[in-house]
Structure formats: C-alpha cells, structure tokens
Amino acid sequence: MIVIEGTVRIPPENLEAARPVMKQMIRASRAEPGCIDYAYAVDVLDPGLVRVTERWETRAALTAHFAAAHMATWRSFSPQLGITDRSLRLYEANPETI
C-alpha cells in the first residue's frame, strides 16, 4: 500500500472558494481504481493549513492518479486559490491487519 501524507497552505480567506474544488477532487480521486482513501482536513488551530491524506493500493494506481483529468483541473485552480507550501511525503506500508 502507498500512503501519501502532508500539508498545503491556502489563505484562510480562500477556503470557501476552495471547498467546491476540493470536494470535486476528493470525489473523483476516491472513484479511481486503486484508491483506498483520499482526504483533506483543515487544521483546527491553523485555519490556512490543509492536511492531505491518501492511501493507494499500488504505485501504478498513484501514477494513474497523477495523469487523471481532475488532477489537471486541481492544478489549474492552485494559483487562483493561493495554494502554497506544498509538502507531501510518500510511504510504503503494509495493508491494515488489525
């Protein structure tokens, strides 16, 4: 399993404008083959900090995600939403067994 975890920054005043684009990105990503989970969460203590969590079955599924049309749409909105400080990390993990 591939796990992506990290953060991006969106100016707090842009969060409402970002929500519809973020919802579309989440829905489309979750519908992709190989997506186990895909989520964004606004930090309670730092409203401009958005936490990103993704889980993918394989690297191939993640590679396909990067080429998906909704990724291009998300990237096109990034400048107008003021998204900065993108910090994402990739981990390989064993599937949950608990």
CATH number of 80's domain: 3.30.70.100
| Token pair listed for 65 | 């995600």
Number of domains present in the structure of the chain: 1
Dihedral, CA of residue 6, residue 11, residue 17 and residue 20, to nearest 10: 10
Per-residue pLDDT, 27:
97
Per-residue pLDDT, 95:
76
Residues of the chain with pLDDT under 70: 97-98
Decide if 48 contacts 10 (C-beta within 8 A): yes
Per-residue pLDDT, 98:
60
Q: Is residue 13 part of a domain?
A: yes
Q: Is residue 73 part of a domain?
A: yes
Q: Is residue 11 part of a domain?
A: yes
Q: Is residue 21 part of a domain?
A: yes
Q: Which domain holds residue 9?
A: 2-92
Q: Is residue 97 part of a domain?
A: no
Q: Is residue 65 part of a domain?
A: yes
Helix, coil or strand: residue 68: coil
pTM for this one?
0.90
Closest CA to 41 of 54, 30, 28, 50: 50
